[in-house]
C-alpha cells in the first residue's frame, strides 16, 4: 500500500503553506497583544478555500476528504503564525460547518454553507454553560416550540468566535425529562431578537480568537433552523477532537524545526 501523498495532495499542501506564509503573517504580535481578530486574514482564507476544505463543491467547498483536509490544516498551522486565527478557523470548521454538512437540511446547506466557505460568514458553537462544561448533557438552556418558532432561554459561555459570529450552532433542551435525548441543536443568526452576545471574555492565549458569553431571553428561532431533528438527541459534534489535534501538531512541528535549526547553529 502506498501511503505517500499524491501529486495533487502535495500541490495543495505546498499552496496552503505558501499562501499562509505570504499572506497571513502580519500584525500578529500587535493583534495578539490587543486581542484583535483579523477579519481581513479570515476573508483571505475564505477566498483560498480553507473554510470550505471538507465541504462538498456544490455548496461552495473544495470537497476534500478528511485526511487531505487535516493535512492541509496542519500545513496552514505550520506556516501561519496567528494561532488565534487557526483556533477560530477550527471552531468554525468543526463545530459549525461540519455539523451543518452532516446534519443540515438541503435548504439550510444552500442558505449558509456558501458564505461559511468563502469567508463572508463566521460560525461558532454554543454548548457550554456556566454550570455545564465537561458534563455537557446537563445543559439547561431551553427551546420551547411555539407555533412555527422555538423560543430559547438560557445562557452560554466560552463561545469561540461569539463576538464576531454570524451564525451559532446552539444546543438547548426541548424536553428536560429526556436528558441527552431531549437536546437539540439550532442555527441561530446574529441579531436574532432575544439573543445578546454580551461580554467578550479575556484570555491568556490564542487572544486573536475572540470568545464571548451569549444570553438568550425569549429568543425566537424559526422552526426551519432546527439542525437535525428534535428528539434526535445531542449528536456528537463530528470530528470535534480533530479540531484539537492538528493545531498542536503543527505548532509542535514548527517548534521542533526551530529547535533543530537553533541547535545546528550553536553547535
Judged by CB under 6 A, the stretch of 120-128, 185-193, 238-246, 257-265 that binds ligand FAD is 120-128
Name the nearest CA neighbour of 195 among 166, 231, 227.
166
Residue 248 Cβ vs ligand FAD, minimum distance, rounded to whole Å: 13
With binding defined as CB under 6 A, does residue 158 bind ligand FAD? yes
With binding defined as CB under 6 A, does residue 210 bind ligand FAD? no
Q: Mask: binding to ligand FAD, 51-90, rule CB under 6 A, as x and -?
A: ----------------------------------------
Task: Give Dmax over CA atoms of the chain in angstroms.
Answer: 73
Judged by CB under 6 A, the stretch of 35-43, 47-55, 128-136, 182-190 that binds ligand FAD is 128-136
DSSP-based three-state secondary structure for 220: strand
Residue 124 Cβ vs ligand FAD, minimum distance, rounded to whole Å: 6
**Distance, C-alpha 30 to centroid of its chain:** 23
185: Cβ contacts below 8 Å, ≥ 6 apart = 99, 103, 169, 170, 171, 226, 227, 228, 234, 235
Name the nearest CA neighbour of 163 among 106, 202, 136.
202
Q: Which is nearer to ligand FAD, 80 or 165 (CB)?
A: 165
Residue 58, φ and ψ in degrees, nearest 5? -65, -15
Q: Which is nearer to ligand FAD, 16 or 219 (CB)?
A: 219
Among 133, 180, 231, 236, interactor with ligand FAD by CB under 6 A:
133
Tell me the site size for ligand FAD, rule CB under 6 A.
11
Q: What is the 3-state secondary structure (H, E, C) of 21-56?
A: HHHCCCCHHHHHHHCCCCHHHHHHHHHHCHHHCCCC
The residues binding ligand FAD (CB under 6 A) are 91, 124-128, 133-134, 158-160
Amino acid at each position: 500500500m502506498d501511503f505517500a501523498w499524491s501529486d495533487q495532495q502535495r500541490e495543495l499542501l505546498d499552496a496552503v503553506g505558501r499562501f499562509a506564509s505570504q499572506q497571513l503573517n502580519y500584525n500578529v504580535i500587535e493583534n495578539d497583544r490587543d486581542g484583535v481578530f483579523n477579519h481581513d486574514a479570515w476573508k483571505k482564507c475564505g477566498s483560498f478555500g480553507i473554510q470550505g476544505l471538507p465541504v462538498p463543491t456544490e455548496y461552495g467547498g473544495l470537497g476534500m476528504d478528511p485526511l487531505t483536509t487535516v493535512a492541509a490544516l496542519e500545513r496552514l498551522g505550520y506556516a501561519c503564525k496567528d494561532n488565534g486565527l487557526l483556533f477560530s478557523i477550527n471552531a468554525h470548521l468543526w463545530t459549525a460547518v461540519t455539523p451543518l454538512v452532516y446534519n443540515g437540511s438541503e435548504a439550510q446547506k444552500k442558505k449558509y454553507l456558501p458564505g461559511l466557505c468563502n469567508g463572508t460568514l463566521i460560525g461558532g458553537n454554543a454548548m457550554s454553560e456556566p454550570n455545564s462544561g465537561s458534563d455537557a448533557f446537563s445543559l439547561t438552556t431551553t427551546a420551547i416550540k411555539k407555533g412555527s418558532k422555538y423560543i430559547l432561554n438560557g445562557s452560554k459561555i466560552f463561545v469561540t468566535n461569539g463576538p464576531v459570529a454570524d451564525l451559532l450552532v446552539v444546543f438547548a433542551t426541548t424536553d428536560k425529562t429526556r436528558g441527552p435525548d431531549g437536546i437539540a441543536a439550532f442555527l441561530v443568526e446574529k441579531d436574532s431578537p432575544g439573543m445578546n452576545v454580551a461580554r467578550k471574555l479575556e484570555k491568556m492565549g490564542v487572544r486573536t480568537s475572540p470568545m464571548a458569553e451569549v444570553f438568550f431571553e425569549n429568543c425566537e428561532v424559526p422552526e426551519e433552523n432546527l439542525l437535525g431533528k428534535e428528539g434526535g438527541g445531542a449528536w456528537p459534534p463530528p470530528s470535534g477532537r480533530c479540531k484539537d489535534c492538528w493545531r498542536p501538531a503543527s505548532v509542535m512541528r514548527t517548534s521542533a524545526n526551530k529547535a533543530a535549526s537553533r541547535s545546528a547553529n550553536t553547535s
